[in-house]
Amino acid sequence: IYMGEVDTQRQALNVARMRMLGAEVIAVKSGSRTLKDAINEAFRDWVANVDRTHYLFGTVAGPHPFPALVRDFHRVIGVEARRQILERAGRLPDAAVACVGGGSNAIGLFHAFLPDADVRLIGCEPGGHGIETGEHAATLTEGTPGILHGSRSYVLQDEDGQITEPYS
């Protein structure tokens, strides 16, 4: 499992749990040492070692079919939320709210409510130190269409199309 070194420090307890279960967690020390760089390293490993490496993404990004796989694996979030809300409230919610940092929780929740026109789907982005500071990860608010990890999406990038470092 590739994780940015910064993320392994932020998620030290989760890293310890993964290692206790036998996972090899590799702290990526290049670039910003966060998710983007971990994904780059995972891609490099996958391409160089296709006979012994399986690439599986934990976020809704990258080339098809990876976003669809993540959506399908995370759909239990929305299916269970929808069922439990209907059981307890007797109706659908006015809105479903999810964080959209990596997108897996959001697509997992939102997918169950897509057919329901009366349910607002609200994504919350990491605001960091504030949009006006430039130190944020608000790709939907401040991003522009670009290519990252094999997919076209909204990204934070400079005028030359180079990905800039998000802050959350």
Query: Residue 146 pairs with which residues in a beta bridge?
Result: 153
Residue 49: per-residue pLDDT? 94
Residue 26: per-residue pLDDT? 97
Residue the block writes with tokens 């997919």: 151
CB-neighbour burial class of residue 13 (10 A; exposed 0-12, middle 13-18, buried 19+): exposed
Phi, psi of 69 (to 5 degrees): -65, -45
For residue 84 the two structure tokens come to 């439990």
What's the pTM? 0.78
Residue 54: per-residue pLDDT? 84
Q: 60-74, 89-103, 152-166: which has the highest mean pLDDT?
A: 89-103
- Which SS3 state, helix, strand or coil, does residue 24 take? coil
Beta-carbon-side half-sphere exposure of residue 131 (alpha carbons within 13 Å): 7
- How far is residue 36's CA from residue 164's CA, in Å, rounded to a whole number? 10
- How far is residue 166's CA from residue 159's CA, in Å, rounded to a whole number? 16
- Calculated CA dihedral for residues 83, 70, 123, 115, nearest 10 degrees: -50
- Which SS3 state, helix, strand or coil, does residue 147 take? strand
pLDDT digits (tens, 9 = 90+) for 90-148: 999 999 999 987 789 999 999 999 999 999 999 999 888 999 998 888 988 999 999 88
Mean pLDDT of 26-55: 91
Is 80 exceeded by the pLDDT of residue 168? no
Other beta carbons less than 10 A from residue 95's beta carbon: 11
- How far is residue 76's CA from residue 13's CA, in Å, rounded to a whole number? 24
